[in-house]
């Protein structure tokens, strides 16, 4: 549910802003969001996965010591991110030739510092399988920005990218209080930072951080390379297809956020052999769900793009038709990463994601150079196909994952949905 509302408000913002901002300003806003998302994923890598894993595996009395060490690590990462954002305000502005980005990154550096406690509070709740507070915190952040955009336009005022960053800052300040209110029953600190736990969290977090960063870079390479090789305005043509594809991927994102703590708990209780069965069932079910959705958006790509972006985006239609195929391969790769992290193989997952990003860079550079904006879609799809084949080979050899079992779970999904629907209709009568 959290992921749904984050994506929903992001989509509403996109729907409005693509119509009121110039193509240069909107392209700059998209590039800014990609860096902001990268900063948040860095925190998630260093804090979320290590904290969830070790709270699940450790004795309850160790919880306060683990939380204190994790929060200190969170602060260290936050300070480094502020420094990186200040560098971005200089160098990325020149790299993309987008002067709007300088003050945007400087303001977001303040937001990044405020997200340190928000991140800790949200992760502690997730570790305790409590998602209400995380939902309310995310709702406050993203609904706040959306309300600012709507109210400003209804009042007859124009919106600038810098104003959007200020509004985002105000929404994050509100989310600090909301997240603390719901997390206070789970937050327990010790009086000191335990050096041993700090090193253990840092070591594990280094690889999950690298995995998340490489994964985010992998998802943003196409837009970044379009911004550099063509222009920020060209990013505006490409972005509607990515936005729609991200909306379709919400079920996968939502399921992975629930899957990781559940899988970590199951492995701790029943052993690592449970990972294979859970992977096959999760990937089979989500792929079965995605097939009709992807087919719908491919067939009706023209009307969908017109509804989402308005007139003048005819070049986006074939891009969307290609990007929709991402949704059929992402479950295989996303759940593999979650499974490896839950098994404690964060190092292996890190190197795999770096490999994926490297393949994507080469593929995008070649196809964008040859075909222009649509080449980014060709390049990313090609890299997804290559990576999926490599991942399936690894899973078969090391976890005994069977593509046949995934297919059986996938086809079994439809009768289960049908039978559930029949039972609901009978209950109504």
139 and 240 both lie in a single domain: no
Total number of domains constituting the chain: 2
300 and 156 both lie in a single domain: no
240 and 174 both lie in a single domain: no
Q: Residues 196-209, buried b or exposed e (16+ Cβ, 10 A)? A: ebbeebbebbbbbb
* Other Cβ atoms within 10 Å of 76 Cβ, number: 14
* pLDDT for the residue numbered 422: 57
What is the DSSP annotation of 171-226? HHHHHHHHHHHHHTTT----SS--HHHHHHHHHHHHHHHHHHHHHHHHHHHHHHHH
pLDDT digits (tens, 9 = 90+) for 247-301: 777 666 666 666 666 666 676 666 667 778 888 888 888 888 888 889 999 999 9
Asked whether the predicted pLDDT for residue 403 surpasses 60, the reply is yes
* pLDDT for the residue numbered 210: 66
- Which of 144, 164, 193 is at the close of a domain? 193
380 and 252 both lie in a single domain: yes
Matching residue, tokens 């920005």: 145
267 and 142 both lie in a single domain: no
110 and 241 both lie in a single domain: no
Tell me whether residue 77 is in a domain: yes
pLDDT digits (tens, 9 = 90+) for 29-86: 988 988 888 888 777 777 777 887 787 777 677 888 888 988 998 899 889 999 989 9
46 and 73 in contact (C-beta within 8 Å)?
Answer: yes
pLDDT digits (tens, 9 = 90+) for 182-233: 988 888 888 888 888 888 888 877 766 666 666 667 778 888 888 888 888 8
187 and 247 both lie in a single domain: no
Tell me whether residue 67 is in a domain: yes
State the pLDDT confidence band at 303, using cuts at 50, 70 and 90.
very high
260 and 136 both lie in a single domain: no
338 and 260 in contact (C-beta within 8 Å)?
Answer: yes
Domain that residue 152 falls in: 1-193
Tell me whether residue 207 is in a domain: no
Closest C-alpha among 267, 374, 243 to residue 319: 374
Tell me whether residue 302 is in a domain: yes
State the pLDDT confidence band at 246, using cuts at 50, 70 and 90.
confident
Tell me whether residue 201 is in a domain: no
pLDDT digits (tens, 9 = 90+) for 106-138: 999 999 999 999 988 888 887 777 778 888 888
248 and 174 both lie in a single domain: no
Number of H helices, E strands in the chain: 17, 0
d(CA 52, CA 129): 10
Tell me whether residue 332 is in a domain: yes
What angle is formed at CA 240 by the lines to CA 11 and CA 26, rounded to 5 degrees?
80
d(CA 238, CA 320): 9
Tell me whether residue 378 is in a domain: yes
152 and 238 both lie in a single domain: no
Closest C-alpha among 402, 244, 245, 411 to residue 330: 245
332 and 240 both lie in a single domain: yes
Write out the two tokens for 133. Answer: 């507070």
């Amino acid at each position: 549910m959290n992921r749904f509302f984050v994506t929903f408000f992001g989509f509403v913002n996109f729907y409005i802003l693509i119509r009121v901002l110039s193509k240069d300003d909107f392209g700059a806003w998209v590039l800014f969001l990609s860096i902001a998302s990268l900063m948040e994923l860095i925190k998630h890598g260093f804090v979320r996965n290590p904290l969830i894993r070790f709270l699940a595996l450790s004795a309850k009395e160790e919880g306060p010591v683990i939380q204190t060490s994790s929060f200190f690590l969170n602060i260290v990462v936050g300070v480094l991110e502020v420094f990186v954002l200040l560098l971005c305000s200089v160098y990325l502005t020149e790299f993309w030739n987008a002067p709007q980005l300088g003050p945007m990154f400087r303001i977001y550096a303040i937001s990044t510092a405020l997200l340190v406690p928000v991140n800790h509070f949200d992760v502690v709740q997730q570790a305790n399988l409590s998602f209400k507070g995380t939902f309310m915190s995310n709702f406050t952040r993203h609904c706040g920005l959306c309300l600012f955009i709507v109210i400003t336009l209804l009042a007859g005022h124009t919106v600038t990218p810098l104003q959007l960053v200020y509004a985002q800052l105000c929404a994050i300040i509100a989310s600090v209080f909301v997240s603390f209110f719901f997390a206070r029953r789970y937050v327990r600190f010790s009086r000191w930072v335990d050096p041993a736990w700090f090193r253990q969290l840092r070591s594990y977090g280094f690889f999950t951080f690298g995995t998340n960063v490489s994964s985010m870079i992998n998802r943003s390479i196409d837009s970044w390379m379009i911004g550099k090789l063509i222009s920020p305005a060209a990013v505006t043509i490409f972005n509607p297809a990515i936005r729609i594809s991200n909306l379709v991927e919400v079920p996968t994102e939502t399921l992975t956020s629930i899957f990781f703590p559940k899988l970590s708990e199951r492995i701790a209780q029943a052993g690592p052999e449970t990972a294979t069965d859970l992977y096959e069932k999760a990937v089979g079910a989500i792929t079965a769900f995605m097939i009709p959705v992807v087919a719908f958006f491919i067939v009706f790509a023209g009307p969908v793009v017109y509804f989402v972006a308005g007139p003048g985006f005819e070049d986006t239609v074939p891009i969307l038709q290609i990007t929709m195929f991402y949704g059929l391969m992402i479950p295989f790769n996303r759940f593999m990463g979650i499974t490896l992290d839950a098994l404690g193989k964060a190092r292996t997952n890190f190197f795999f994601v770096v490999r994926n990003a490297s393949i994507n860079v080469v593929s995008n550079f070649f196809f964008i150079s040859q075909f222009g904006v649509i080449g980014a879609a060709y390049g990313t799809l090609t890299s997804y196909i290559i990576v999926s084949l490599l991942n399936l080979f690894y899973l078969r050899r090391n976890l005994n994952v069977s593509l046949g079992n995934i297919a059986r779970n996938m086809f079994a999904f439809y009768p289960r949905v049908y039978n559930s629907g029949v039972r609901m209709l009978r209950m109504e009568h």
